[in-house]
Amino acid sequence: MYVQEKTIKNIICDILKRKDLKIEFTCKTNSSIYLTHYTDSNEIIQRSEIDRFVISIRTETGETIFPYMTPTMTGVFKQYNFKLFSILHEVGHYKTFKGISYTAMTKKRDALYARVNSEGAHAEIHRLYRQTTPERRADKWAMNWILKHPKKAREYSNQLNRATY
């Protein structure tokens, strides 16, 4: 496991105080959590427990995210390594998913991203996506976590700076 992956895993386990989490890494742009899986007959089932975290290890700057948040939120997140936002946002999904149908959400998201392909309306789609209930909740959870744990946030961000190359 690379330094960056190890660092990210340690941070997530530390925030959630759990050691048994399944965390995978991807070179794709987006990080995600898995709460759904498919049965043999291709039926989608939503779990009540998280299945796994998938965290992007690509170097990102938040261009498709930060311009579509409130200036307050952007101001908070921009003070730290981008990966910290990424991690906290996914943990935020995990902490706030109750009452949300991720099956419905996945369909909505796919429909939005299909529009990016057909209309190329990137800015509008990114804005709409950020305003969906799960994204708003996850962003808010992430920001509140930072406001509550400024020392930890700085410490994690420094660790991520050192591990990002």
Nearer to Zn ion, 46 or 154 (CB): 46
CB of 62 to Zn ion, least distance (A): 13
Q: Which is nearer to Zn ion, 65 or 160 (CB)?
A: 65
DSSP state of 78: T
Question: How near is the Cβ of 113 to Zn ion at its closest, in Å?
Answer: 13
Q: Render the burial of 112-137: b for 16+ CB within 10 Å, e for the rest.
A: beeeeeeeeeeeebbebbbeeebbeb
Residue numbers at the binding site for Zn ion (CB under 5 A): 135, 138
Of 115 and 154, the one with the shorter C-beta distance to Zn ion is: 115
- Nearest approach, Cβ of residue 126 and Zn ion (Å): 12
Q: Minimum CB separation from Zn ion for residue 90, in Å?
A: 7
Selection from 21, 18, 25 nearest residue 4 by Cα:
25
* C-alpha dihedral (40, 42, 46, 52), degrees to nearest 10: 70
Smaller CB distance to Zn ion: residue 116 or 154?
Answer: 116
Phi, psi at 81, each rounded to 5°: -55, 135
